[in-house]
Each structure stands twice: as C-alpha cells, then as structure tokens.
Structure 1
Amino acid sequence: MTRVLVAGPAENAELREPDVARSAGRVSAPLITCLLVAVLAQLPVLRPGWFYYADDSATQVLPMWYHLGQQVRNGIWPPVLDPDLLMGGNVAAETLFGVWSPFNALVWVGVSLAGDVGIAGIVVRTFALVAVALGCYLLCREYGAARWSASALATALPLTGSLLHFDAAKWPAALLAFVWVPLVWLTARRMVRGRTNAFWVFVLGALAVTAGNPYALLGVCVVLAALLVEAGLQRRWAGVRRLVLVSAAIGAVVPLVYLPLVRTAHTTWRTTSGGVHDSGALAPHLDDLLNLSMPTYVPAIPGVGVPAVYFCWFAVPLAFWCDWSVVRRRWRELAGPLTIAVVYLLVALGPSEVWMFRWPLRVVHYGYLALAVVLAVVLAAGLRFDRLRARAAATVAFLLLAVHFSAVRSPGSVALGRAVLIAALIGLLIAAALAVYRARGTGPLLVVLQVGTALTFCAQCLWFIGGGADLQYYFPSSPKQMRENYAERYEGRVLQIADTALNDRVPGDGSREMWRDMVMGNAFLLSDVDSVGSYTGIGFRAFTDVLCLGYDGSSCPAAYDALWRPPAGADVRLADLLLLDTVAVQHEIVPRPVVPEGWHLAERNSRISVMRRDEPASAGTGHLSWASPHLRAVSDVSDGPGTEVVDVHRTGGGAGRLVFARIAWPGYTAKWNGSEIPAHAGPAGLLEVALPAGRPGPGRLELVWTPPGMRLGLAAAAGGALLAAGVGIQQVAGRRREPAGAPR
C-alpha cells in the first residue's frame, strides 16, 4: 500500500496554540502581509521613478484628482460639471472618477494637498494595493484557508500582471474600484451566514458602484450571483433572501452613477447601443492564461510587452503537490469562488468588446482573486508526497513548457536566458518549499513562498519596468513647477494645437524639450491654466469634430484655420465664441502660423508659436460669448459650475439668440423671466439659447445644468438605502428572537 503524507509535522499547529498565540497571529499575519506588499509596491519606483506617473495616469487621472480635490476644498461636491474644461468637463457622464463616492473625494483632497502629484499617486497606489491584499487575506480566511496560505496568496495578488502594469500603473481609478470587490464578497458571504449585518454589505456595495468603474460594477454583480449559487447549494434560504434584497438595494445605486452616461452617449464618441466586436485588442488567449506562473512570459498582445497575465510563481508548480480532494469534499462551500473563476475565464477569453466593456485583459485579476481563494483553501489542506516521481515530472514539464512558450512569444537570446534563469529559480524554490514543509511545517513554507514572491517580482521589475512601451511624459508632476512654467505664459483661456504623437519624431532629447512648452490631456490642471483641450473618454462630437480634437486634446492642422472663421450657424469667429485669449501652436502641425487680426505674437521658439489676444475676451465670471445685435448683456454671472444668470437689455422686439462658451451637454434648462425656453447645441456644439420675441427692455436668463436622470438616480439610491436598512433591522430583530444556542 502506498503511504500518503498529507501534512508536515506542524500541521494544524494553530489548533494546538494557546489562545494568546492565536490572538496574536490573528493580527500579526495580515499585518505582516500588508507591510510586505507595501514594501514590494515601492520596487517599481526604483526602476524607473515614473512607473506610477506614465500614460493615462499622468495625462488624465492624477491631474484630474488634483483638480477635483481643489473643487471639493472649495465646497463643490459632487463635482459633476466643469464648464471651463469644455472637452472633459462632463465629469458625471465620464463616470470614471466616481464623483458620488465620498471615499474618492477623500483621495482627491489628499492629492490636491500634496506638493507633488506623482508622489501622491505612489502613496495612493500603495494603500490601494495593501487594501487589495488585506481583502484577499480576509476572504481566504472566510473560506477556511489557513493563515499561512491566505498570506501567501494575498501577497501575490496585488503583484499580478494585469493589476500592477495596467490598473496600478496606468488606470489608478480602476485600482481604487477593484479594492471594494473582495470586501463586498467578504461581507456578503458573512451576511449569508448570519455573521454580518446586511446594511454593511450595502454600504460597501454602494462604494464599489459609486467608484465609477464599470468593471467593478460587473465584479460586484458576478460576486453576488455566485454567492446566490453557493448559498442555494448549502440551503441557506434565509441568507438567500437577504442576499437577493441587498443585491436589489445595491443595484438601485447604479442609475445615479450611470444614467448620465446613458442619456448623454448619443452626443459623444462613446456608444451605449450594444454590439459585440472582436478586434483582439488587449485580449489574452487560453495558452496565455496557462502560463500564469511564469514571471517572464509576455503574451502575444500588441503593445503589451510585460507579463500581463502573470499571477504568482507557485500557483501551478505547487498545484501538482496539493491535495485537491478538498475541493471535492467542500465543493458546495467553494461554489462561489469556483463560479467566479469560471465566469471570468470565459470573459477573459471572450470578444474584445461587448457592449460598453472592452479589453478583456482588464478583468484577468478579478478571476485571479477567485483563484487565490481556491488555491489558499487547497494549500491549507496540506501537501502530498505520494507518487513522488509523477508529481516531480509534472512540475519539471510545466517549467520546460513555460520556458518554451516564453521563448516563442519573445524570440531572442535575452528572453530565452531570462526564461531559463527564472525557471531554474522557481524549480529551486519549489524544491526548498517541499523540503521545509516536510521537515518543519507551514511556518518555514510560508517564508519560502514569500521570499519567492519577492525574488520573482524583483526580477520582473529589473527586466520589464522602464524599458517597455509605456508612454512617458516629461512634464513636471509638481503643481508649483507647472505654474512657474505655464501660468504667466499662457493667459486666460488657452487652446493648444498640438499632437502628442509628433513628439516621437523629435530626434534625441527633443521630446523632453517639447514639454517645456506644451502638455497634453489634463496636465494643464496642475498649472492653473484654463485649457480648452483635456482628456476625455466620451467627447462631444459636434465640438471635437470642428477642431479635430482627440481624446487627449491632440489636434490637427485644420484646427488652426477653423479658429479664425465662423462655424456653421454663427456670425463670429470660433476663437471668439470660445472666449480664447491664448493659442499655442506646435510647429510640427503649423510651421509658421499667421497671426490673425486682433491678436499678436507673444512668443516663438523652435517648437511653438504663442498668439495672444490684444484685449481679454471676457472679464466676468460668466461664459456668454455672443448675442444677437439687438441684445446687450448688462451682467453675466456664474456662481457655480452648473448655473449662470445673464441680465439682458433688448433694444428691439424680435427673437434673439445667446451663445455660451459651454458645451451643450444634455441636462441644461433655461428660463427667460421665469418661463422655460429651449436650450440646445448651437455652433460647434456650444450651448445656444433662443429668446422669444418680446418688448424692448430688461430681461433675465437663468441657466441651470443637472446630470440627466439625477433626480431618478438619487431617489433610487435612497430607496436602496432604505431597503438595505430594513433588511438590516429585520436581521437584528430576528437574531434577538432566536433561542440561545440556535444555529445561524
């Protein structure tokens, strides 16, 4: 008979520990895990320092966090609209920044108080990655995993390829949204078991939804559905009822966040009409996911160049030594993570775009969260040493295949050498893990696993960070430096006609020099420059088409000519309608721009020309830029982003028009002397109000903007909160009625 060794000599040591030791371990294990993740999260900054300040993080997210933090500090919350941004001013419809989340508001304020948003971004990422690790640890423990196995997987999860190289490095708003998913999962499962009040599940679920990232919303939906399956299989019918009601309450928050986008999308680039497309963009394949334990494996996805599908080094090699019978014995309890893992496997391997969801690589770490839970539970059941040769052969075969696939995906002697080196390291670490487990138990095994995670991550930082295809911008991350460089040079409202892609054509260090004169996306928000161009994921088509503006504010040569002629439906130049004071033109686009009448050349160097208006376009706080000849604006005051009051004096009795340097986003209402009148998109997509005919004399126009569907969204969210509170109260009352010692 074959002898089976399932556990080392220290198995179930926790059960024999004194109460004091167990209590200390309950705190020390997650604390040490979080500290280790916090330290490892700093390694990418060492090579190079801009890892967390590149691509969309630098041009979109961090500058906007800084700007939104300033608005919150000025008493504007939620900051749903900024009319001065024009392109990216409809923050509510963007959804990305989660304007309804009080947690996000705290992050913005913190970033706005920092002297360097790049450093602030590192701090935010560190706390977020630590929170992911803590959530994963607690979730693994909730499913019965040992402290050591929960710690090993919780350390590995924040360092996975898709989470680190994409959400953490490029899209920190998505990282903040992912933080809530394991916490929602944890509290919802505890609620099903009667250990947590339903209202706390709603609170965490609402924070996940209001984070504004649709992938977090999808994650919450998948988690709650999987828990319904899990609870139903265990016949926890009271928990099922609570879960259904709380899920409905969380769902009631969704209209508040996403209705503005749905009701605005018809005017923008972004469509909500549905459809399935498979361009292959950021879409992994099955053979990619099979290499999830190879730190040097780079998937054949255009533009990636990093181990984007990597999970953790020991997941597959150590799986050959695990006792997987625990899954068979506890399949009902593990139905939740198993369901989630399968769902996200299908999503990751599905089309590259389904409805509003695109780039399947963005959901890989959601599936890895479920995989971490399952693996932590399986590891906690102990390692097996029967059929020693077969297990060793399977481990060696995996490492050899991983080397082969790594070399195939990244041809060349350098890639092959790295793959061989890292495979040898993993082989030694697995051998060491098995040896110390058999001799000393789980404590030394955890040390080997954590050391292996640190070593493989150091190798990844050395080989893949700083030399890839990340877009690096050289403008300062210090608001003080940005103000010193731009604030006095670019006065009033500024339009920059430039193209980020052209910087790549500048030889030598020319691309570094280019950012002395211009920045892209939202970066001007760090300098207090009122820039028309900004970073937007939606874009107002009627406006962006006239100036051929791209998502990051890039433009084309035709934009300069468009400025100096009236757009369709207008009698004055577009530059006047926009209330522009300064125009900066990149010479790569327009080599020698002609200075128009009423303007002068303020600056010219080898890279740009800067034109400035002879007289300021507007001295007030309002945005009125043109009125019919028989209408004279007596005053124009805007005391908030979504409100404006214009006192008008008529010199004639006919109908008239007013045009504002505001984008005509859906949601505007206009009242003339208390009566509602039409407000619609006029020239170049700017807001136009048609005044009815009337007698000469004074009149008042009041403009108000609210996000479309906001009243419905607020009512639905309030109803969801009341429903969750009712479920929570019923849960407390029911617990009090239970006889002592009754099972929950």
Structure 2
Amino acid sequence: MTASADTTEAIEATGDAAVGNPRPGRRWDVLLGILAAVTVVGLVALAQWRGTRFFYVGDMYEQFAPLWHVLGSQLRSGQWVAMDPAAWMGGNYAAEALDGIWNPVNLANFVLVSYFDNLSLAAFVVAAEMLAILSIGVYLLARTYGAHRGPSFLVAVAIPVSGLTLWYEAAGWPAGLAAFTWFVHFWWSARRFALGRAPMIVPFAFGFLAMTAGNPYAPLGLVVVLAALGIELILRRDGRRLVLLTVMGACVGAIAPMVFLPLLGASEVTTRQSLAAIANDTFLVPDLGDLAAGSSPTYLPSISNWKGPLDSVPSTYLAWFVLPLLPWLRWSGRRRIPGGVGLLVVGSFYLIATLAPSNLWLFRWPFRLVEYLYVVVAVVFAVLLSRGLAPMTRRRVGATVAIVAFGAYSAWAVRPDLWLEHLVGLLVVGAGVAAAVTVGRRAGVAALAVVAVVGTAAVSMVQFSAFPSVAQPIAVDDEPRPDPLPDGGSPVFSVADMRRGAAEYRGVVLQLADRLSVTTEDSREGRLLFGNLARVADPGAVTSYTGMGFDSFADELCMDYRGAVCSGAVERIFAPASAAVDAPLVDVMGVSTLVVQRTLAPVETAGPPPPGWRLAAADPARVVWVRDSPMAASAGPVTWASAGIDTETRSSTPTSETVVVTADRAGTVLFSRLAWPGYSATVDGRPVEVAEGPAGLLSVDVPAGGGQLDVVYSSPGLAPGRAVAVAAAVVAVLASAAISVLDRRRRRRSVVNAGPARAD
C-alpha cells in the first residue's frame, strides 16, 4: 500500500473510531440510536394527535393500508399468493412490485395490520416504525463519516420529520419511505464493509430489503452509493476491497430480477409502457428556490401537484437549524471529512436529479429525490458541527439573521395570506437559533444538539398546527367543508363499518360508481368504496387499486386505477361481451352482486332489477342487485363456453384451473380472470392456445372431443428471478464467511510480523 493510501487509511480509522471502537463507545451509540428512534416516535405521535389521520392519506388510504390488511389476513390463514385473480386489475401482486410482497419486514407488518380494525391507527404504527428505523440509520451513517454523537443524534431526529419524508412518504407513500429507510441503512453498512469493518452479509441484507421495497428509487440509490464507494476505494488504491464491494453489489443487484421481471413481463397488457418517456410537465419538479428555503418551517413550495400550483404542506423543509447555523461551522481545518469524495459524488448526483425533468423513463417526479439529497446535507452538517462552533463575530451574526429573515420572507412571498403562521415560524426559529448558538458556545456541541432537538419539537408543533393533514376538512371559499370527499382524505378507517355495508354481497361483486358525489358517510358505512378499501369490505370485490392497470379491461368498463367507472359502464355490462360471445359481460365476468350508484345511472336503477336478479339492498347512494342463483364464490372458474361445449370445474386456485371439457366441436372457453401474460393451458397434456378474450378475460381454445383442461399461471420472469436471488444469497453468505476467515488470518499474520510491542 502506498504512503497516500496509508494516510487515507489512518484518517478513515480516525473517523471510524468515533463510530464505536473501542467497545465501551458502542454502548453509547446503541443507546443514542435507540433514544433518537424513541424521540422520532414521540414527534410523529404529535402529528397523529394533531391530525388524527395524518398518516392515512393518498395512496396509504386507498392502496397500502387496506391491502396490508387483506394480505395479512391471507398470511394468517396460511395463504401467500403472488397472483390473486379475485382482485382483477390489482391482483397481480408480483407484477405490481410496489406492494413489496418479497420483503420480510413488509410481510410481518401485513400480519400486524390485519389485527387492526382502525386502518388509520395501523398506518400510523407502521409509519412510526419505519421512521424510527430510519432515524437509527441516519445516526449510524453520520457516525461512520466521523460525526460526533451529539450532531449525529440531532440529524437522526431531524431527517425523519423533514418535509418530504414525513408529509408525503410517511403519510401517503409508504413504499417510498421503506425504500429510503433501507437505502440509508445500506449506505451505512456498505461503507463499513468497504472499510473492512462489517461482514458482507450486513450490506447484502439491507440491500435485499431496499430492493424488495418495490420502489425503483431504492435500486437507483444503491447504484449511486456503490459507485461513490467504488470511487473512494479507487482513490485509496485498495483493489482488494473494490473487488469485494463489486461482488457484494452484484449479489444485491441479483435481487432485482425477482422484483422487477414480473412487472416487465406484464407490461404489454398494462398502461405502464406509456409512462416510459423523457418529458417535463413541471409536475412535482422542485427548484433551487424551494431548496434554499429548506430551513423555513412555514415555506410552502411552488410545486405543481394534485391540488394546484402550490403545495399545501412544507414538503421541501429540511431542518430549521441547518441553514442558519452554516456561518458558525468550521469550514476550514486540517482534518478533511472521512469519505468526503463519496459524499460529494452522492450529493452531486441527487442535486442534479432533484432538478431534473418530471419524467425520465420510468422515474417520475424528481421531487421524490429531495430526501436523498437532504440526508447527504445532514451528514455533512453533522460532521462539520462536530468540530465545534466558530468564534462569534458580527459578520456571522449578520449572516444568520439574514438567512432566517430570507427564509421567513420566502415563505410569506409564496403565501402572504398565512402571515400569522410565518410570523410564528420566524419567532420560533429565531429564538431557537439564538439559544442554540449561545448554549453551543458556552457548553459545547452536545448541549447545542439537545437545544436543537427541543427546537425541532417546537417547530414540528408549529407545522402540525399551521398545516393540518389533508385528512382534515378542506376550506371552500374560506368556509370549512364539513363533509370532505374521499379525494380529500375521507376518514373511512373502520373495517367493521365498511363490512357492514357489504353484508348483502355474494360472490364476485362489481361496483359501478364514480367518485364525484360520494360522501364521507357513504364511505364510512361501506356503501361505496374505492381502491383496496373495497377488498377489505368484501374479498369478492372487482374494485381494487392498481399501479399499472389492464388496458382492455379498463377500456371496456371505462374503469380507472381505483375502480371508479363512467356512466356508460352500466349499459356495457349488460351488452354482449363481444361479437363472438353473445352472453352479457356481467355473466362472463361471473358477477353475482351488482352495486350501482344512483347518481351514476338514475334511470337504470329506478326500475326493477333485470331477470334473474333480485333487489338485496337500497339506500340514497346505491342499489344492490344479487343473482337469484349466485355463480362461483370467487373469480377464476369457467363462466362461458362455445356452443356444443360442456365444462365441469374440478379444482380452482389463484394460479390454476382444472376443468373437464366435453366438446362436440372445437371451440372456446372463457374464465372469470384476466389474461395476464404467463398463462398456459393443456388438454390431456397437449398444449392449447391461450388468448385474451373480451374485456381482457382469459380465453382458451379447446379441440373437438375435449378432455381434461389444465390452466396454469406462472408470473413471467419470476422463476428465474427467484433462482438468481437464492444463488445471490448463497454467494453472499459464503463470501461473507470466507472474507471473515481471511481477514482474521491477515490480522494474526500482522500481529506476528509486528513482533512484541515496544515498551515506552
């Protein structure tokens, strides 16, 4: 090793010594890491208390929390499925990827959530858990770059309650929160591994959790971190660790096929392929001005989003103390930041990516990358703050006053109508900065960190009071709307209440409703539900949430990704399914219960039900028709066959059908399941053609004479993806063990070669 490399190694060792070597220091790191996690849980509990449904909005409300309850209930009954035809467009869980069905932490949380009746409370528990884990990761990451315990503790508390992480990811995008959390832990453990101070299995395990979170920004982050660490090792001329890092990274990358190949295999029938583009519609695209106001707690960024050109929450907020304390940091000095090149690489990438166009292939909305940039800023801040505060000068005081004033002005300029909130924020930040600087100069950085954490709690209360969760009533013409629509976060959370509205449902349930006139009471009583909430109310519901859709099915019913339909859907379902299939679509889908919203089709629902149906329930919101003789209990089996063909179902599972077919002539059999890519069929062992029938239903051609028809589904790419993932895990375990043995031998040889210690 060269002299330069020796010097670098010494510097890295100095930084690493702060991480917990010798062992007595490790106990403090464990205690402070746990204390940071507990502190974060306390802060987010304030958000839950102030907003009651703070963590139950957006996708959390209609996609994740109810789906977790469904999957957890299935796991408790001994079922685990990657494909559920009963969920129709939302049932291809393996292809959805974002559901994270391969992640063991997710699976445990699914089971946990299934015990809750209150889905809002369940969502809060899972969000608090992930934010606490994130806090520990930030603490460890800052420590491994040489930050002292006090500053590391401070940023470990601040990052989980920063704008995007708390107000978007934790509140409504839990897959993004999980991806970010495991990314931070992977970064910490991968750098420890690159320095030879952690076994390979540790970063591999966190890389596995990051990959299986299902969010594409996690794999992107892993690549960026590996590249940064690789550059560090190249500069250190440590070829051995570079090779080992490459092997570890390859093992982590080998998890990707299992997670994402099913998505690519299903893309030909979905709307996903239309998203792959390079364009900029300015949607969720932040700018430098939004980042420059990151220490103003009441600044609402001018980011185009679902509610208009301005955000309603402080989504680009970083931490109230970071920018105001910049003039007090010791920027110059003999000691450089350990691994500073890697931090520069990661930070530069995410700064550029955060300011990118709205669409770069499948990566949409660069706003989602703000938290990745902020964690780099937080680590650098913690390292610099560890050097202590610079002496007090008028210039530093003036710079801090200017920074605080600029943040408050920026917040006021965007939303001058919130002048009182901005004034309160200015006073709290000003007082907090003054107290932090005063205490820091007199009692040291550790005391400053304590003051700053207290200030973070105060600032958080200001934010929670000034910007209530979108689950709260929305103002219309300066008057609060007492009955917000579901799009505004309708507080439907009780599983028991939702299921009461489905008491009359039987078999496959098709709801025909839009979202425009649905009230909170309708949702609370389970009369009309969208997304995966419908699946919680009744497992036979066609309505579900999907991130990718199924083109032909969605087009036929004009159904959106949450199960809402247009008014023409009522007429379409009673029309022949196609020119070749004379049966109504409602029959070939195997629907036994039809729920029709009165405002969607008032004429059709005013009269008696069609022949073969009876009125099961009626209220001001809907009518419920049930077949006199319900069809199959769940989606999947045969629902229609060509003339001259008789069928008898012998067995039906989520991924297979066994049917005895008697055919006077060759013809077609339709199943009440969507024709996802991956289906195959045989008649008495001979392959037969599988195709997409009307409305995307699975269609199988059978020859004259018939026989035993076996239909099997295998998710495209899943089998090889699993094999590669298992192989990667085996390689990681064996390599980790081998490296540990070799490192011990090298250390023993080094001790022997060094000879007896010289007495001074």
Q: TM-score, normalised by structure 1?
A: 0.92
Q: Aligned partner of 2:676: which letter?
A: W
Offset from partner CA, 1:254-289 (integer Å, 9 cap, x none):
111101111211211111773211111111111101
**Partner residue of 2:449 out of 443, 446, 449:** 446
Question: Residues 20 and 229 (structure 1 numbering): CA distance in 2 closer, same or farther, change over 3 Å?
Answer: closer
Amino acid at match of 1:359: W
Deviation, structure 1 residue 471? 3.8
CA distance in 1 between partners of 2:721 and 2:26 (Å):
45
Alpha-carbon distance between aligned partners in 2 of 1:611 and 1:228, rounded to the nearest angstrom: 63
Q: In the alignment, does 2:417 pair up with 1:429?
A: no
Structure 2 residue aligned with 1:85: 87
Deviation sequence 1:318-369 (CA, Å, 0-9, x none): 111001125x842562222222121111111101111111111111111111
Q: Which moved more, 1:159-168 or 1:717-726?
A: 717-726
Corresponding residue number in structure 1 for 2:368: 362
Matched, 1:462 2:465: yes
- Which secondary structure does the structure 2 equivalent of 1:271 belong to? helix
Residue 21 of structure 1 deviates from its aligned partner by 7.8
Q: Show the counterpart of 1:410.
A: 415
- The unaligned stretches of length 5 or more in structure 1 are 1-11, 504-509
Measure how far apart 1:739 and its partner are: 4.4
Superposed displacement of residue 306, structure 1: 0.6
CA distance in 1, matches of 2:413, 2:558: 41
Q: Is the 8 A contact 2:72 2:114 kept in 1?
A: yes
Matched, 1:550 2:550: no
- Tell me the residue number matched to 1:110: 112
Correspondent of 1:48 among 47, 51, 60: 51
The match for 1:512 among 521, 524, 539 is: 521
Alignment of 1:585-596 (within 5 A): 585-594=596-605, 595-596=609-610
Match of 2:656 in 1: 643
How does 1:153-164 map onto structure 2 within 5 Å? 153-164=155-166
Partners of 1:150 and 1:192 lie apart in 2 by 21
Summarize the Cα distance change of 1:184–1:18 in structure 2 as closer, same or farther, 3 Å threshold: closer
Residue matched to 2:637: 623
| Contact 1:514/1:607 (<8 A) preserved | no
1:145 match: secondary structure: coil
Q: CA deviation at 1:514?
A: 5.2
- 2:689 aligned partner: 678
SS of the residue 2:603 aligns to = coil
Aligned residue in 2 for 1:378: 384
SS of the equivalent of 2:661 reads strand
The equivalent of 2:717 in structure 1 is: 709
Separation of aligned partners in 1, 2:61 and 2:698: 30
Report matched runs for 1:245-284 at 5 Å: 245-271=247-273, 274-284=276-286
Stretch moving more, 582-591 or 714-723: 714-723
The answer to whether the aligner puts 1:391 opposite 2:396 as a matched pair is: yes
State the distance in 2 between where 1:200 and 1:219 align.
17
Q: How does 1:448-527 map to 2 (within 5 A)?
A: 448-466=451-469, 471-474=487-490, 476-483=492-499, 485-503=500-518, 510-513=519-522, 515-516=524-525, 517-527=527-537
Q: Shift of residue 621 of structure 1?
A: 8.0
Once the two structures are TM-superposed, the CA of residue 111 in structure 1 deviates from its matched residue by: 1.0
Which residues in structure 2 correspond to 1:5-84 (within 5 Å)?
Answer: 22=25, 25-77=28-80, 79-84=81-86
Do structure 1's residue 215 and structure 2's residue 231 form an aligned pair? no
Query: Which stretches in structure 2 are left out of the alignment for 5+ residues?
Result: 1-14, 475-485, 755-760
Shift in Å, 1:417: 2.5
Query: 1:128 aligns to what?
Result: 130
274-283 or 460-469, which deviates more: 460-469
Aligned counterparts of 1:535 and 1:212: Cα–Cα separation in 2: 16
Which range moves more in the overlay, 178-187 or 598-607? 598-607
Match of 1:177 in 2: 179
Measured in 1, the distance between the counterparts of 2:432 and 2:659 equals 73
The answer on 1:612 being equivalent to 2:618 is no
**Residue 732 of structure 1 aligns with which residue?**
740
Structure 1 residues 255-264 or 596-605, which shifts more? 596-605
**Structure 1 residue 529 displacement after superposition:** 4.2
For 1:413-441, what per-residue CA distance to the aligned partner results, in whole angstroms no more than 9, with x for missing partners?
xx222223212221221111111122122
Give the structure, 1 or 2, with the largest relative contact order (CA under 8 Å, sep 6 or more).
1
Partners of 2:208 and 2:522 lie apart in 1 by 45
2:150 to 148, 151, 155: 148
Are positions 1:720 and 2:728 aligned together? yes
Which residue type is aligned with residue 687 of structure 1?
A: L
Q: Residue 215 of structure 1: CA displacement?
A: 1.3
**2:507 and 2:465 mapped to 1: Cα distance?**
45
* 1:353 and 2:366 aligned: no
Q: Which amino acid aligns with 1:420?
A: L
Amino acid of the structure 2 residue aligned with 1:728: S
Q: Secondary structure at the match of 1:60?
A: helix
Is the alpha carbon distance of 1:741 and 1:451 closer, same or farther for their aligned partners in structure 2, counting shifts above 3 Å?
A: farther
The answer (yes or no) to whether the contact 2:109–2:126 under 8 Å persists in 1 is yes
The structural deviation recorded for 1:101 is 1.7
The answer to whether structure 1 residue 287 and structure 2 residue 302 are counterparts is no
Which residue matches 2:483?
Answer: none
Note the C-alpha offset of 1:127.
Answer: 1.0
Tell me the SS of whatever aligns to 1:530.
coil
Greater Cα offset, 712-721 or 53-62 = 712-721
Residue 475 of structure 1 and its aligned partner are, at CA, apart by 5.8
1:316 aligns with 2:305: no
Give the residue type in structure 1 aligned to 2:660. Answer: D
Structure 2 equivalent of residue 506 of structure 1: none
**Does the CA contact (< 8 Å) of 1:599 and 1:614 recur in 2?**
yes
Contact 2:658 2:708 in 1 (8 A): yes
Judge conservation of contact 2:492–2:523 (CA < 8 Å) in 1.
no
Match for 1:381: what amino acid?
R
Q: Distance in 1 between matches of 2:642 and 2:438?
A: 86
- Please name the residue that 2:196 is paired with: 194
TM-score (norm 2): 0.90
Which amino acid is 2:558 matched to? Answer: C
Which whole-Å CA distance do the structure 2 matches of 1:282 and 1:473 have between them?
Answer: 20
Give the distance between the partners of 2:458 and 2:508, measured in 1 at CA: 51
Moved more, 516-525 or 732-741: 732-741
Summarize deviations over 1:139-163 as a string: whole Å, max 9, x none: 1111111100000000000001111
Deviation at 1:169, TM superposition (A): 0.4
Moved more, 619-628 or 604-613: 619-628
Q: CA deviation at 1:619?
A: 5.6
SS of the aligned residue for 2:134 comes to: helix
**Root mean square deviation, CA, Å:** 2.4
Instruction: State the secondary structure of the residue aligned to 1:563.
Output: helix
SS at match of 2:137: helix
Report the number of matched residues: 713
Q: Secondary structure at the match of 2:672?
A: strand
Q: What is the identity percentage for the equivalent residue pairs of Structure 1 and Structure 2?
A: 36
**Match of 1:722, as an amino acid?**
V
